[in-house]
Amino acid sequence: MGLLNKYLLRKAAISIGGLIVFAICVLLLERLLRIFQIVSNSVNPAQDATTMIVNLLPYYLGMAVPMALLLGVIITVDRFSRSSELTSALGAGVSLLHMTKPFMVLAVLLAGVAFIVESFMIPVGRYEYRHAVHKVKQQSFTAALREGTFTSVGNRTFFAGTDKPAGAIGPIFIYERLIKDGGQIGLRITTASEGQLIVREDTDEPVLQLSEAQSIPISKDKTIDGNLTFEGSAMAGAASVDPYRARGDDEREMTSTELFKNRQGTANTNVTRDVNNAALHLRLAKAALLLILPFIAVPFGLNYGRNPSSAGIFIGIVLLVSLQKALEFGQSLGAKGAIAPWLGIWPTIFLVAVFAAYIFRKSAYKMGQPPLTAVSHLMKAFGEMIKREIWDLKQKLSARSD
């Protein structure tokens, strides 16, 4: 690879990397609000929030990579054009196709990354995120105890005050129905001056540790059946944490290897054949799309003048968002069985490839203005028209005030 291609590769890699980080941060902001609402009732809010964010990162990385590749190449080519470096390179006999090679190298690398992320990291991360949410909701009774409210879990009703220092709670009141062979045989009332709520690390089981406690059993005929006083005790399983289901409840939790094995819909009966195959084709198409984007981004970034243009960026964003929605629509049709699963995905990719070949060939092998020059002129003319209308409106308002 020559010096020019290394230069373009470095510039594009910096732009794409920065855009990926920026996009992930922006996309996470909206989800963070929901995560904070979920972990507000958690025993370990910082740890649970971190677990959820880490498991969400692959999902947002998959969304950010196509947009970052397209915009990163457009920005790099636009800067290369406005600094007259493009004109110098073309004058030295370097073709536009040759200058596209470093962008294709990045596209191939990102296509591999995107395929791994879409095929393995996102399905597993989605499941682990749902698992973390389930665990937090199962343990939310601890927050209710800290808030000093009555909380019913199974055959027990808890109440705890919140005026104790150092994270302790108390006084504590526990009303428990004693059940044997499916029938209630009595009651037990337990009180304690204070207690501590902990969660065992090995089993995630909540434990309520009592101190200076008193337990009073009450028989079925409502007579006191003893009185037990003790200095300390631990009530394990204060809430029953139901085990979470196995991964693979829907196609979004299945890896591409599992989807491939389930092409006939027999390996996983939870996912039908059409749904399975539509999801598999969509993942493959997303990776293939990244190999086409440089041939669209390079013409969109061309600018033979010194005036910057945002038309390529604007149209590129609109094009990519529209393409994403078209692929999702095609996947939904294939999942419903209205059309063959591949028919909702690959014709769209083929049309995009034809468009990319046409616009790149026109830019690389035919002399003339860049393909978006007319759009830039229209946008500039529209802006000037708006400015004139605003100026005329100000003049009319000034005349009326005089």
Give the tens place of pLDDT for each residue, 50-88.
999 999 999 999 999 999 999 999 999 988 888 888 888
19 phi/psi in degrees, rounded to 5? -70, -35
Q: Check pLDDT > 90 for residue 325.
A: yes
Give the SS3 label for residue 312: helix
Nearest in space to 107 (alpha carbons), one of 118, 115, 98: 115
Average per-residue pLDDT in the chain? 83
pLDDT above 80: residue 379: no
What whole-number distance in Å separates Cα of residue 266 and Cα of residue 351? 33
Average pLDDT over residues 183-198: 80
Rounded Cα distance between 87 and 91, Å, is: 6
pLDDT tens string 329-372: 999 999 999 999 999 999 999 999 999 999 998 888 875 566 66
Q: Where are the domains of the chain?
A: 3-137+248-392, 145-236
Residue 377 · residue 320 · CB < 8 Å: no
Give the per-residue pLDDT at 388: 78
Helix, strand, or coil here: 198? strand
In single-letter form, the type of residue at position 395 comes to Q
Question: Which range, 201-215, 258-272, 292-306, is most confident?
Answer: 258-272
pLDDT digits (tens, 9 = 90+) for 94-148: 888 999 999 999 999 999 999 999 999 999 999 999 988 887 876 655 555 655 6
pLDDT digit string, tens, across residues 244-297: 788 988 899 999 999 999 999 888 888 999 999 999 999 999 999 999 999 999
State yes or no: pLDDT of 230 exceeds 80: no
**What is the distance between the alpha carbons of residues 103 and 332, in angstroms, rounded to a whole number?**
32
SS (H, E, C) 205-228: CEEEEEEEEEEEEEECCCCECCCE
CB 259 within 8 A of CB 280: yes
Q: How much of the chain, in percent, has pLDDT values that exceed 70? A: 81
The tokens describing 34, both together, are: 């929901």
pLDDT band, very low/low/confident/very high, at 190 (cuts 50, 70, 90): confident
Give residue 58's pLDDT.
96
Instruction: Report yes or no on whether pTM surpasses 0.85.
Output: no
**Model confidence band, residue 376 (pLDDT cutoffs 50, 70, 90):** low
Q: Which pLDDT score is estimated for 242?
A: 56
The number of helices, as runs of H, and strands, as runs of E, in the chain is 11, 6
Mean pLDDT of the region 314-318: 88
Q: Which residue has the higher pLDDT, 54 or 227?
A: 54
Round to whole Å and give the CA distance between 275 and 334.
7
Q: What's the rounded Cα separation, in Å, for the pair 293 and 66?
A: 8
Q: State phi, psi for 199 to the nearest 5 degrees.
A: -125, 125
